[in-house]
Amino acid sequence: MLNFVIGLFTVVLVLDCALLILLVLVQLPKKEAGAGMAFGGAATDALFGAGSGNVLTKVTKYATIIFFVLTLLMAVLNTQNRKAGGSLLKDKWSEGSKSAAPAVAPLATSHSNSVAPSVTPTLETTNVVSPTVSTNAK
């Protein structure tokens, strides 16, 4: 249930981020230049009326408040989810590691005073062919 709520809040947060990006790009700047004019600043006046700056500013404020509330709420919910051990990936990983653990036989130990055979590394020589350089000067 908690994973569903976190997923739902994530979708709403992504949509809110997209809305915030569009709102910031569409707003008119103070000097009547910039990204607001590039995307049709006059169109926002025609759509929302002469006081479009006020409407867009209010919507931007509400979208920003929603962004921060959702971010903090998701941080708390993710912390609760981790404490409860509700991570599906973690559960699957622990199940997989328990079933895939190989049975290890104990090492046979000998209490005799035998000497272990020594292993000496051997060097193998390989034939290295060096490139030949011809010096035919004409």
54's enclosing H/E stretch is helix 52-84
User: Alpha carbon 30 to chain centroid distance?
Assistant: 36
Q: What is the pLDDT of residues 60-112, one digit of tens each?
A: 999 999 999 999 999 999 888 887 765 566 667 777 766 655 555 556 555 55
Tell me phi and psi for residue 106, to 5 degrees: -65, 150
Model confidence at 51: pLDDT above 70? no
Query: Contact, 6 vs 81, CB < 8 A?
Result: yes
Half-sphere exposure (Cβ direction) of 54: Cα atoms closer than 13 Å: 3
Contact status, residue 115 vs residue 32, Cβ threshold 8 Å? no
Give yes or no for residue 38 having a pLDDT over 80: no
- Quote the distance between the C-alpha of residue 82 and its chain's center: 17
- Higher pLDDT: 9 or 48? It is 9
Backbone phi, then psi, for 19, in 5-degree steps?
-65, -40
Query: Does residue 38 or residue 8 have the better pLDDT?
Result: 8
Q: pTM for this structure? A: 0.48
State pLDDT tens for residues 128-137. Answer: 565 666 666 6
